[in-house]
């Protein structure tokens, strides 16, 4: 269960992945090369796009994938696995290939975020952990992106650790929120582990610990004169909180020549209180004092506050971000799309359902994004067979795979492959970017989306089209006799 002092997540798998593996070995299919796609079916909150996140954790998991002696003994105790299979697991090493979209990429339903090519047992064992990580972190990064866009350039801080569903959800959730655009977190360990900028000032308990609110503010300003942000709503925001903050600033900071400071509001009518507090601060000469607001905020409340003229400089967002409270399931799935024969021939596989959304796109594929050369904006995404190329020097007709009469000719465009090689023959070949690079990449890529796709309500449907060859194969499989 542990390896080099770290928790081994290899056993974080659905039991059927093990029973199928045992069965594959018994049937002589253990080395059958398979292709799996990890993708999602709908964007949370009815949004126009999602943000891919979690690849770094997936890489760490695959690199450390192994079964320890205690894992083998546990599986032996279940009395449903052959000794041959247990021996196979004891010497297990991932030897396959993985492709993935880089973290921070805006992504759309039914296009692969990760593609795995590996022997059947190996590919199957990756399913649960990869889905767990990608579903959670992509969900939080997507929610963060929405909230950050609602703030219209004002910093958003992630404040949700105490409301996260688990300690790990708090830690990597802060990382995902940072990818999505948050400026920092209240979670210290996320800074320690991943470099997400952590910060914080005081809770109401600090104010209550002193005999008076003014004493609490004075003490804090003396201790942190360069980072004095005072929580002003413990008793009465406008009658005592803001006046006492101004007095503490005057007494402690002004003699030091410090002009930058802040107050925080955590309750009440934030629009009204922020406007009144701004007037009071400005009248007292503290025009550079920032106003931070928190208290169960999300993208809709932030948008409403700003539309009411709220004078808020920074937003602290907690439970509705770290839990993606309004739509807390990302819905990613992991499906077999092809198998490869001994001669290298790839046979496409499809999952058919009466629920059209559950019909898969078969075959080993490439994912392309088309950008307009004149604007840099994304036009559409395009799924092709793995051995197809896109000639972007001329024109290309694309069509909606669910309504084939909807067609568009693209021209003067640049075609870019989105799936990057991550592992080849079990070895990591991907140069992992820093978290700051991922965050900057995410912001730049979101900026390539048209405003109509960025809308919160009824966003424009961004097309993920299939090449003619891929559509023909899918159509043939749908109509083939079973």
Chain mean pLDDT for the chain: 95
Please, which pLDDT band fits residue 6 given cuts at 50, 70 and 90?
low
Domain boundary among 287, 313, 342: 287
Same domain, 48 and 128: yes
Same domain, 207 and 105: no
250 is a domain residue = yes
**Rounded CA gap, 98 and 96, in Å?**
7
Return the structure tokens found at 187: 């979670």
| pTM, full prediction | 0.96
Span of 98-112, 273-287, 347-361 with lowest mean pLDDT: 347-361
Q: What is the pLDDT of residue 482?
A: 57
* Domain of residue 233, residue span: 201-287
397 is a domain residue = no
36 is a domain residue = yes
Please, which pLDDT band fits residue 357 given cuts at 50, 70 and 90?
confident
Same domain, 121 and 223: no
296 is a domain residue = no
Return the structure tokens found at 196: 């997400």
- 64-95 CB burial, b ≥16 within 10 A, e <16: ebebbeebbeebeeeeebeeebbebbeebebe
312 is a domain residue = no
Same domain, 339 and 235: no
Same domain, 241 and 335: no
The domain total for the chain is: 2
Return the structure tokens found at 324: 């993606």
CATH number at 208 reads 3.20.20.70
Domain boundary among 259, 287, 315: 287
Same domain, 6 and 65: yes
Which tens digit of pLDDT belongs to each residue from 50-95? 999 999 999 999 999 999 999 999 999 999 999 999 999 999 999 9
193 is a domain residue = no
218 is a domain residue = yes
Same domain, 20 and 134: yes
CATH number at 66 reads 3.20.140.10
- 369-396 CB burial, b ≥16 within 10 A, e <16: bbbbeeeeebbbbbbbbbeeebebeeeb
Task: Please list the alpha-helical segments (H only) found in 108-180.
Answer: 120-125, 127-150, 167-179
Which tens digit of pLDDT belongs to each residue from 246-299? 999 999 999 999 999 999 999 999 999 999 999 999 999 999 999 999 999 999
What element of type H or E holds 204? Answer: helix 204-209
Give the single-character DSSP code of 480: S
Same domain, 107 and 36: yes
Contact 158, 148 (CB under 8 A): no
Inform me whether the pLDDT recorded for 5 exceeds 70.
no
Inform me whether the pLDDT recorded for 112 exceeds 70.
yes
Same domain, 88 and 36: yes
């Amino acid at each position: 269960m542990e390896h080099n002092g770290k928790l081994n997540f290899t056993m974080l798998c659905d039991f059927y992945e093990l029973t199928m593996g045992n069965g594959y070995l018994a049937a002589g299919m253990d080395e059958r090369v398979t292709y799996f796609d990890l993708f999602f079916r709908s964007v949370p909150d009815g949004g126009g796009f999602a943000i891919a996140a979690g690849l770094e954790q997936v890489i760490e998991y695959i690199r450390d994938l192994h079964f320890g002696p205690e894992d083998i003994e546990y599986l032996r105790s279940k009395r449903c696995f052959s000794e041959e299979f247990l021996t196979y697991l004891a010497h297990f090493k991932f030897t396959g290939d993985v492709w993935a979209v880089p973290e921070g990429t805006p992504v759309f339903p039914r296009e692969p975020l990760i593609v795995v090519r590996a022997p059947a047992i190996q590919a199957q064992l990756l399913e649960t952990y990869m889905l767990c990580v990608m579903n959670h972190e992509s969900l939080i990064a997507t929610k963060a992106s929405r909230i950050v866009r609602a703030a219209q350039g004002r910093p958003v801080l992630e404040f949700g650790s105490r409301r996260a569903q688990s300690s790990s959800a708090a830690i990597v959730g802060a990382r995902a929120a940072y990818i999505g655009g948050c400026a920092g977190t209240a979670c210290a360990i996320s800074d320690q582990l991943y470099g997400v900028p952590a910060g914080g000032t005081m809770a109401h308990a600090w104010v209550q610990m002193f005999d008076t609110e003014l004493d609490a503010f004075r003490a804090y300003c003396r201790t942190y004169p360069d980072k004095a942000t005072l929580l002003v709503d413990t008793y009465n925001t406008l009658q005592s909180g803001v006046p006492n903050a101004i007095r503490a600033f005057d007494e402690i900071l002004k003699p030091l020549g410090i002009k930058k400071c802040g107050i925080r509001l955590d309750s009440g009518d934030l629009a009204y209180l922020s406007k009144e507090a701004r007037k009071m601060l400005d009248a007292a000469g503290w025009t550079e004092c920032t106003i931070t607001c928190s208290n169960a905020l999300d993208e809709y409340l932030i948008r409403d506050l700003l539309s009411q003229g709220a004078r808020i400089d920074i937003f602290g967002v907690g439970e509705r971000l770290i839990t993606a409270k309004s739509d807390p399931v990302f819905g990613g799935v992991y499906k077999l799309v092809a198998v490869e024969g001994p001669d290298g021939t790839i046979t496409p596989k499809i999952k058919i359902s009466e629920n059209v959304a559950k019909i898969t796109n078969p075959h080993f594929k490439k994912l392309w994004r088309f950008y307009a050369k004149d604007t840099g904006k994304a036009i559409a995404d395009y799924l092709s067979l793995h051995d197809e190329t896109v000639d972007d020097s001329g024109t290309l007709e694309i069509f909606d795979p669910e309504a084939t009469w909807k067609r568009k000719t693209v021209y003067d465009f640049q075609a870019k492959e989105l799936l990057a090689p991550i592992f080849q023959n079990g070895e990591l070949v991907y140069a992992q970017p820093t978290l700051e690079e991922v965050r900057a990449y995410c912001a730049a890529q979101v900026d390539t989306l048209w405003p109509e796709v960025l809308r919160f309500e009824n966003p424009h449907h961004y097309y993920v089209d299939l090449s003619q060859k891929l559509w023909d194969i899918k159509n043939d499989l749908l109509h083939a006799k079973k």
